[in-house]
Amino acid sequence: MLPSSRAPIVTQLVVYKVGSADETFGRTGIAHFLEHMMFKGTATIGPGAFSRTIQRNGGRDNAYTDFDATGYYQTIAPDRLELVMRLEADRMAGLRIVEKELVPEREVVLEERRMRIDNVPAALLDEAVRAALFGEHRPYGMPTAGYVDDVKKLGVEDLDAFYRRFYAPDNAVLIVAGDTTPDAVHALAEKHYGPVPGRGIPARQRPSDGGPSLPQRLSRADRRVAEPGWSRDYLAPSYRTGETRHAYALQVLAQLFGGGETSRLWRTLVADRRLALSARADYSASSLGLSSFGINVHPAPGHAFGEIESAVADQMKKVLDGEVTAEDVERVQNRLLAAAIYAQDSLGSGPRRYAAALSTGNSVEDVEAWPRRISAVQVADVVAAARHVWREDRAVTSLLTPEERQ
């Protein structure tokens, strides 16, 4: 429960500890497909009526699927919180998956993939990068949207079995944020979720190593590409897997190296040398298995990938050689802490922070301790994290080009 009286609204988020990384090859896309089918009715409410009921009561709802979790959320007036709890508990236990609803929804799922991946060259290249980095046909190496041939084969029995295996209160976390009280939330949760039986969910497993053929270089040439791109992705530990002691320092490193216009990459490649139109680095520690540390640069017209790679390597060497100051680290820490404070004010991003942690084995205490742990990162920790992750034998370099530049 995350109380806030800033506005007379509440958000309910139910996140299940299951995502696309819990699928097997040949059955990919099932977690995302099931997310869609969760809106197709139960024994007590008809297809599409869930969202229509929320809308008629002045609220909005949606859902998401990622590699480790699937979440369903509604934002509504506080006096309608019981309504959304009743609806959510109903489909937690009583979803009906029927052929009549599944067949047309499959086309919706496939169309989403066409729009977001098949028609986006960068997304297609990203799929190939993940398969190389984490291992083809392995968790995190298979797309959340699923492979087209797999989605086309999924039937009622496949989705129903997945639902009955993973969708239960003992595999879910309830987060409520907004203008209500813990006592009120607890009473409503006991009333509506309390009677739903658990299923005895087994512990999830993730590989502790990456793809078998690293390092790799990949490229994709496509006439739809407007801006060429150079990227490098490294295997990295998370809060839960690998050398986890580096997780907090890697968050500082990502911001320091490529986290906006004050970062090393942006200042050097974009502002000073004009080699690039943009440059960034990204890393997330909230993964049940291994994570990745990514560097992405869009070269400026007239500058080749070789120039970019050399310039990035030069900046990496400066970090590895210890050219990082305490002032650099403190500035990044302040930015990270400020962003966390702003996130707490949001009824969207605030609950999602807790959902990401609680669905991957971390605790509320871990979320609350995050500012203190980020503040404790020292220069030596940042350099040690860089040395651990920035290894050529654990990386995939990828190039995205217009077709004529192949």
For residue 288, give the DSSP letter.
Answer: S
Check if 112 is active-site. no
Per-position b or e across 264-296, b if 16+ CB within 10 A of its CB = bbbebbbeeeebbbbbbbebbbbbbbbbbbbbb
Q: What are phi and psi of 281, to 5 degrees?
A: -135, 150
Rounded CA-CA distance 210/215 in Å is 10
SS3 at position 265: helix
75, containing H or E segment:
strand 70-76
**How many Å apart are CA 216 and CA 146, to the nearest integer?**
23
Which is catalytic among the residues 23, 35, 101, 105? 35
Phi, psi at residue 19, to the nearest 5°?
-150, -165
Tokens coding 72: 């369903």
Three-state DSSP at 370 gives helix
Residues comprising the chain, all counted: 406
Q: What is the DSSP string of 117-178?
A: IIT-HHHHHHHHHHHHHH-TTSTTTS-TT--HHHHHH--HHHHHHHHHHH-SGGGEEEEEEE
Parallel, antiparallel, or unpaired for β 291-299 and 276-283?
Answer: antiparallel
How far apart, in Å, do the first and last CA atoms of the chain sit? 53
3-state SS, 2-29, equals: EECCCCCCEEEEEEECCCHHHCCCCCCC
The residues assigned a catalytic role are: 35
